[in-house]
Structure 1
Amino acid sequence: MASAYVTIGGLQVAAPLATFVEEELLGAADDAQAFWEAFRGLIEEAAPQNAALLQQRKALQALVDEYHEDVEHQEDVRVGSAAYRAFLQEIGYAAGSSSPPQQLATEPVDAEVRSVAGVQLVVPCDNPRYALNAANARWLSLLDALYGTDAVVPHPAATERIPEDGSYNPVRGAKVMDFVFSFLDSFFPLVSSGTEAPISYRRAVGFTVEKEVFGISDGEGEGEGVGEGEGTPSGVLANPSQFKGFAMSEAGEVSQVVLEYHDLHVILCFDADKARSLGFDSSLADVIVESALTAICDFEDSVAAVDVHDKVNVYRTWLGLMKGDLTATFAKKGATVQRRLKADKVFTRTGHADDPVVLHGRALLMCRNVGMQMYTDMVKHPAADLDAIPEAFVDLLVSAKAAQYDLQKADAQQTAKGSSRLLRNSRMGSVYIVKPKMHGPAEVAFNNMLFNAMEDMLGLKRNTLKMGVMDEERRTSLSLVSCMHEVRERLVFINTGFLDRTGDEIHTAMKAGPVYGKRQMKSQAWLKAYEDGNVDA
């Protein structure tokens, strides 16, 4: 994988990685020699354990193969009998349930992980443009999403299609707005100011913000247009607490209104000229919805990092995201475009002008390291006779060190206008690292030890590094509660991985006979048990 090496800290480090670490990853106060010496100590402690656990995988698989090849056991394997389960527990393949499940004690955790349900993306971390797209997918236009896809018009008539020249189709746009009005009526219902009878956003010709109340004007009441203090609205929110804040334009008109539902936010955008150009009757020109709450920046399955240059590119993207200065420049429609991380969104809080509403502008970012079975020669330890070390060790080193730039940012400072100066990832001071391909509680416990060692090496508080566990290996699925117990103070989520889990099921059962094809595989009992067991745990 690597060719030229730099000898430092008792290690041989591939030159591109050594240069990246010294010139980009380390801060001004860091010493490269001490950094690599500390990492050498971690390698010396953990590399033998890593190798032993991989050897245990092979030994267990050999016992399972022997059992599967025995004709007397094949029916037990096929139906998953009590005898088969007892065998797996006897050899240590599946952990017993002698200890009761314990409450997780992971703190502190950001709201996007702890309490708010939403979309999670996975993005390859070798492409800065894609990584920025994922990070910025926190806020997206509902109108653009509906107009540009078949969600609202699945089988468009000729009059409903998007023109080939890219021009706007008002017929299609009207269908989009009809959906948007239904969406708003369902989740942010309005009632008549006088009778409290339901009233639709479709009737709005204007919108008002008056004395902490958001409402609409249908042209029949006193209030018209878009503004603050425009008069009595025709309709107001049935649940006034859903109105969280607003923003004013330079012309002194209300340009945006923030509504909230189950801690998720929708931003109504007002622009009378734009709305008229789209054929809309009111000044509502767009609806921005909170979309991707979290994004996993992937070092593993979705990237092809085959040499040290590729891997450094992955690391550089993650570092830029954590520093907040990542950019991507590219050509689009004949123009040069530069993409960067979006700032937080700041609004005047309803009833508290001196205490602005600040909404996080980006998805909460996590990174997924490679599995412990992957080895790399980016770093060698000649004295320990190691021509390659677990690649996950290097991933963890760079993931955590890069995230220190985010941790070291002071709490987001507010300017006089309320805009955030800093682009923070975690507001709770945590680093989120996803661990794939772990087989059972012993491997989870080993990775917990690695996280402890990395925190000690970098001077981080215990459990600053949070762990997401991928439930995608048979041994982990069979002992998921025990796996969770091993990381009960740093676990933030359990993810399913149906493709990888299916692959491991096939690999494990290779000696048991032919496997079902894809269509039949989806209806097998083990697959439903996998999903149910994950949810139950």
Structure 2
Amino acid sequence: MATVRLPSGNVLEVHDTLYNFVRDEAVAGTAWTADGVFEVLAELIEEFGPPNREFLARRADVQQQIDDYYREKRRNGWAPTGESATRDAEELESFLVAIGYLEAERPVDFEVATPQLDPEMDQNGPELVTPVTNASMAVGGANARWGSLYDAWFLSDIHSEIDAEEQRPARLRMVVEETNAFLDEHVSAWQGGVGFDSIEAYSVGRTDDGAYELVGRTSDGAEVRLEHPDKFIGFNLNDEGELAEFFLEDNGLRILFQLYEGGTVDPVNGQFRDLIVESALTNIIDFEDAVSVVDADDLVEGLRNYLGLIRGSLEGYGSRGNLKQLNSDKTYRDVNGEERTLKATSLMSVRNVSIHMYTDAVTLGGEEIPERIVGVLLTTLIASAHDRGSNGEPRADGEGVMPVRGPNSGGGFVYQVTPKLHTAEEVAEQMRFFEAVERGLGLPAGTMLIGIMNEELGMTLQLPQALRAARNRVFFANTGFLDRTGSQLRAQMYAGPVDPREDLNQATFNT
């Protein structure tokens, strides 16, 4: 164990594996030293460790009062019924207000004042959760910003009667036909009622005002243009000056059409070389419930992978032995001929554990510390100090080159997802903690933002107050339905048996 002696007289002990990682990797290339980082950690533990235990004691006390409440009702002959549901809910609300767990309902009289975020946070789109300790999945999750629509359609259960192995040509024809129909209906058809299935080659031309436009050529030699020409945002040419690929945009998401030689589609079945759609815009890098981090070695494995994601250097081997690396950003020429860049990887947030988890990877005065304190501090240090992008420079191990990519957050934010908080008071404490981390690391106020996981009965009941407490930093509130259901079961365990799963699946949630 490495030892850091503090001005307060306390002794911080750090597992050698964690200390060496911070010293040799996390602070490399920065003005920080490992001892400096752990001195900040110790100050945070001294300030936030005691309130952490008080919050946990408060949780236990409230749960005990709820258990006693239902035990007493049961002793008095009460049983839940459909007819009593409204009255039962009103009585429970009154009880929770009386014990100080809930505030009396009041109007929502505040506005969220989060700063302007990275554009991915304004755009509707899929979000992934990626286990940080699995390098292959972490790289794959980051690269899932773009994926083949052909592959997704081919491997799906759409038209499952067409077997992918035994009827491969027929299934591929189905994929091409259905994706072309999808593009016609939902993105843009072509003038004159022409569909994508009628076009055999593509090129770019110029409009009267000099802008580039997309031109399709049908099998009879006719040239057609998009019904919605504004959907065309750019293109790339090959070395012979022929159209190699073009981009359309719909609902803020981009679609990349890759072409064969001469700007053509396959002459047999009309398929593009590939059809790549923008997909997972955001990605939660998970240190919590998608992983099992039980000791310092596990924690360092996760932190090392997270550092590699932020730097762009992480590599991992897939199940078939294939090497996975982060993709380089995509470049293209826009309709005015200017070079543009599209991010190739998802915008990554990071989820550390909640207040109930403790670790012996670091001890203060011989006692375990709240794991969230060390996790949030070190992931924020990594994200703020190393998120600079890369320019295709040689890798540190001399094997290959780095991707050409911009930073994860162009706005310089650290998106911290916080799970399993129970109350608005706990959210307010997390905001106070974020402020202290920013001061300790010398970061501008507002660098750290919070995503609130609505996974507990108390959080659902107090969500407006929780958003009020986080209104200057919150970037999402996200319901985790499995955890949320489990919380409901535990909180009201003594109310009696719950409905069978089949009935719960059909029920209105959170009523």
Query: Do both proteins adopt the same fold according to a TM-score greater than 0.5, normalized to the shorter chain?
Result: yes
What is the deviation of 1:408? 5.0
Q: Which residue of 2 aligns with 1:325?
A: 313
| Matches for 1:460-479 after TM superposition, within 5 Å | 460-479=443-462
Measured in 1, the distance between the counterparts of 2:92 and 2:299 equals: 42
| Matches for 1:8-407 after TM superposition, within 5 Å | 8-9=4-5, 10-28=11-29, 29-71=31-73, 72=76, 74=78, 78-79=85-86, 80-98=88-106, 100-113=108-121, 115-151=122-158, 153-156=159-162, 160-163=163-166, 169-192=168-191, 197-211=192-206, 212-221=212-221, 233=223, 235-272=224-261, 279-281=268-270, 284-329=272-317, 332=320, 337-351=322-336, 353=337, 355-382=338-365, 387-407=367-387
**Are the aligned partners of 2:145 and 2:280 in contact in 1 as well (CA < 8 Å)?**
yes
What is the deviation of 1:281? 3.8
Measured in 2, the distance between the counterparts of 1:364 and 1:443 equals: 27
**Are the aligned partners of 1:96 and 1:479 in contact in 2 as well (CA < 8 Å)?**
no
Change (3 A) 1:436 1:250: same
**Are the aligned partners of 1:406 and 1:426 in contact in 2 as well (CA < 8 Å)?**
no
* One-letter amino acid of the structure 1 residue matched with residue 288 of structure 2: E
Measured in 2, the distance between the counterparts of 1:325 and 1:494 equals: 31
Of stretches 67-76 and 504-513 in structure 1, the one that deviates more from structure 2 is: 67-76
What is the deviation of 1:251? 2.3
Q: Which residue of 2 aligns with 1:515?
A: 498
Measured in 2, the distance between the counterparts of 1:318 and 1:344 equals: 19
Change (3 A) 1:390 1:314: same
Deviations 1:142-174 (A, max 9, x none): 1111122222x2222xxx4324xxxx9222111
- Name stretches of at least 5 consecutive residues in structure 1 with no aligned partner: 223-232, 414-418, 530-537
Measured in 2, the distance between the counterparts of 1:278 and 1:205 equals: 7
What is the deviation of 1:429? 1.1
**Are the aligned partners of 2:259 and 2:265 in contact in 1 as well (CA < 8 Å)?**
no
* One-letter amino acid of the structure 2 residue matched with residue 270 of structure 1: L
What is the deviation of 1:207? 1.0
**Are the aligned partners of 1:173 and 1:278 in contact in 2 as well (CA < 8 Å)?**
no
Of stretches 510-519 and 424-433 in structure 1, the one that deviates more from structure 2 is: 510-519
May I ask how many residue pairs the two structures share in their alignment?
A: 485
What is the deviation of 1:361? 0.6
Aligned sequence identity (%): 31
**Are the aligned partners of 1:274 and 1:285 in contact in 2 as well (CA < 8 Å)?**
no
What is the deviation of 1:12? 0.3
**Are the aligned partners of 1:365 and 1:425 in contact in 2 as well (CA < 8 Å)?**
yes
**Are the aligned partners of 2:381 and 2:441 in contact in 1 as well (CA < 8 Å)?**
yes
- Name stretches of at least 5 consecutive residues in structure 2 with no aligned partner: 6-10, 207-211, 393-401
Measured in 1, the distance between the counterparts of 2:301 and 2:264 equals: 43
Deviations 1:441-465 (A, max 9, x none): 0111111111111111111111111
1:442 aligns with 2:445: no
**Are the aligned partners of 2:132 and 2:302 in contact in 1 as well (CA < 8 Å)?**
yes
Change (3 A) 1:281 1:396: closer
- Please report the TM-score for the alignment, with normalisation by the length of structure 2: 0.90
* One-letter amino acid of the structure 1 residue matched with residue 282 of structure 2: T
What is the deviation of 1:37? 1.2
* One-letter amino acid of the structure 2 residue matched with residue 452 of structure 1: E
**Are the aligned partners of 1:324 and 1:423 in contact in 2 as well (CA < 8 Å)?**
no
- For the residue of structure 2 that corresponds to 1:378, the secondary structure is strand
Measured in 2, the distance between the counterparts of 1:476 and 1:132 equals: 32
What is the deviation of 1:52? 0.5
- For the residue of structure 2 that corresponds to 1:268, the secondary structure is strand
Deviations 1:86-128 (A, max 9, x none): 1111212223333534111111311111x21000011111001
What is the deviation of 1:409? 5.5
What is the deviation of 1:288? 0.6
What is the deviation of 1:406? 4.2
* One-letter amino acid of the structure 1 residue matched with residue 446 of structure 2: N
